[in-house]
Structure 1
Amino acid sequence: MTPSTHPIFWRDPKLDFVELRQVLDGRDVSYSPHSHEEWSIGAILEGQSEFLCADRLHQVERGNLVMMNPNVVHACNPCHDSPWAYYMMHLDKEWLAQCLLDYGIRASSSWQDTRTDTLLSTAFYEEFVALCEYLMSVEYSSEEKQNALVGYFVGLFKYLNKVDGTPVQLFPNTLLPNNKLYEVADYLNLFCLEDTPIEVISAKFGFSTAYFVRAFKRHFNMTPHAYRLNKRVQLGQHALKEGQGIAEVAQAVGFSDQAHFQRVFKKRVAATPHQYRCSVS
């Protein structure tokens, strides 16, 4: 039996656009600020925690839903001595955007960020918890589970559109402002496996190192080095889900040894690479 302090991951090869995590006793969990490529939603099942999303700090507890846009830096950690249990779900943003377009919730297949960090709604909370239990059950088929996912998120996003005050037909494409820091972020994403010194990268883009590190952290809520490590962890997660060996993955995603990979991975995923690779389906 899996100890209650260990996270449980649910995945289905036929539903590769969704991943679910259940933590029953997370009082000793500690997340470093990190981000995901997916759109994420979670439910606090027990206890209280602090939820930092970008530069916004929320106090959340049982009954709260939390939501995170792709690539937004966040961290959710239990309050001191508080029992803490939660579900966390990650959804591929392309799948979700297409689903919302198909059902007339959004006017474009391009992903559009949501504007809500937390939601206190008994109905949506209870339905989400029931959805998570449904996914983790072995009694239902992949097709039935996909239908349940679609039904829940169509209803949720209809509601979020009203909360956000954004008419469905007028949801415009989000254009990033012209900022050279985005070019640096793209560079770090593309060359995240290289150990190019930050001093060299800042000079390449015409910044002094001190200014570059301050400006990057202020803009992305993460230092350039942490941003690069976060991308390596994301690549590691993809490889582990495919069943690759931990030592092999550590080397492939740019870590000097398996122990270093495990330390960095656990700070951002709150699970060891071995725990993450194992899943119920």
Structure 2
Amino acid sequence: MPAGQFHMQRSAIPGVQAVSARSRHAFARHTHDQFGIGVMRAGAQVSHSGRGQVEAGPGYVITVNPGEVHDGAPIGDGERAWQMLYLDPVVVAGCSADIAGDGPPTLGDACVLSRTLRYEFEHPARNQPDLARRILALYAQVTAGTSRLACDALLLHVLAQAGGAQVLASGRESEPASLRHAISLVDDDPAAALSLADLAGASGLSRYQVLRAFSRATGLTPHAYQLQRRLLLARRLIRQGMTLAGAAASAGFADQSHMTRLFVRAYGVSPRRYALAAGA
């Protein structure tokens, strides 16, 4: 794979996205709306998230949780390469229910589980060779079009071995109750032109109070959080086939170039290259 390339491959499991990458890009702080689990194939990186600062070398298992603010930079001057599987929350919710012995959820149950059963990867980077081998085997199977039965079974093994914490929760239990309405304003419509006064009014706090509380709860200022939600929305729209200009406008960016600058800074790839990879 050429240097600096991100390759999105077709997956045999709906709701599971396979991405291989090689880059020396230093990623700015950003978030994902999916779970991510993968393996560092070459080189090494240092990253910081809500779970602390860690280093990952070749063969390390690397993970990220939805909404987790994190970054990543290569150690030294070289590139690092990795393979990741990004899992929609509803997929993880269904698997975690099975692992817990609650039985397979129906479609309706899965939608409820995605809001109520919180599964979290506890280790952002860990040298766990057996798990790494299983993740790479799963990556190979889902991208090779192996039978759904085999892929489903291996996915369950991977998530069970990864040992994610499972707790019944609203998904916002770590956020102060006064902030939930303010954060929901951004989540429900990332493109909206909101002011700090709007967020303060929704939370019942002063503008200064909501500014400080928002940063403590999310790890980002309200403006930075809104930009991350806009980037995630733009990614979804691009994957769905919307034009780049349309995605930029629909996600609330001033123009396509504004979206492109932030997209590259966060993800290390331009929206155009992302669109090409997504359509591969």
TM-score, normalising length: structure 2: 0.84
> Partner of 1:22: helix, strand, or coil?
strand
Cα offsets for 1:174-222 (capped at 9, x unmatched): 2415521222111111132112222442244333333322221122111
Calculate the aligned-residue CA RMSD, in Å: 2.5
Question: Is the CA contact (8 Å cut-off) linking 1:55 and 1:221 kept in structure 2?
Answer: no
Question: Is the CA contact (8 Å cut-off) linking 1:7 and 1:22 kept in structure 2?
Answer: yes
In the TM superposition, residue 106 of structure 1 has moved relative to its aligned partner by: 5.8
Q: Report which stretch shifted further, 244-253 or 103-112.
A: 103-112
Which residue of 54, 78, 82 maps to 1:82?
Answer: 78
Cα offsets for 1:220-248 (capped at 9, x unmatched): 11111111111111111111111111111
In the TM superposition, residue 91 of structure 1 has moved relative to its aligned partner by: 0.5
Deviation beyond 6 Å, 4+ runs, structure 1: none
Aligned ranges 1:14-163 → 2 under 5 Å: 15-24=13-22, 26-27=23-24, 29-102=25-98, 104=100, 110=113, 111-114=117-120, 115-137=122-144, 140-141=145-146, 144=147, 146-161=148-163
Partners of 1:55 and 1:214 in 2: CA distance:
20
In the TM superposition, residue 172 of structure 1 has moved relative to its aligned partner by: 4.4
Question: Is the CA contact (8 Å cut-off) linking 2:181 and 2:202 kept in structure 1?
Answer: no
Pick the structure with more strand per residue.
2
- Which runs of no fewer than 5 residues in structure 2 stay unpaired? none
Question: Is the CA contact (8 Å cut-off) linking 1:250 and 1:258 kept in structure 2?
Answer: yes
TM-score, normalising length: structure 1: 0.84
> Partner of 1:50: helix, strand, or coil?
strand
Which residue of 211, 214, 218 maps to 2:212?
Answer: 214
Partners of 2:239 and 2:100 in 1: CA distance:
32
> Partner of 1:52: helix, strand, or coil?
strand
- Which runs of no fewer than 5 residues in structure 1 stay unpaired? none
Aligned residues, how many? 265
Partners of 2:158 and 2:211 in 1: CA distance:
38
Partners of 2:101 and 2:80 in 1: CA distance:
34
Which residue type is aligned with residue 135 of structure 1? Answer: V
Partner of 1:188: 186
Which residue type is aligned with residue 7 of structure 1? Answer: F
Partners of 1:172 and 1:221 in 2: CA distance:
22
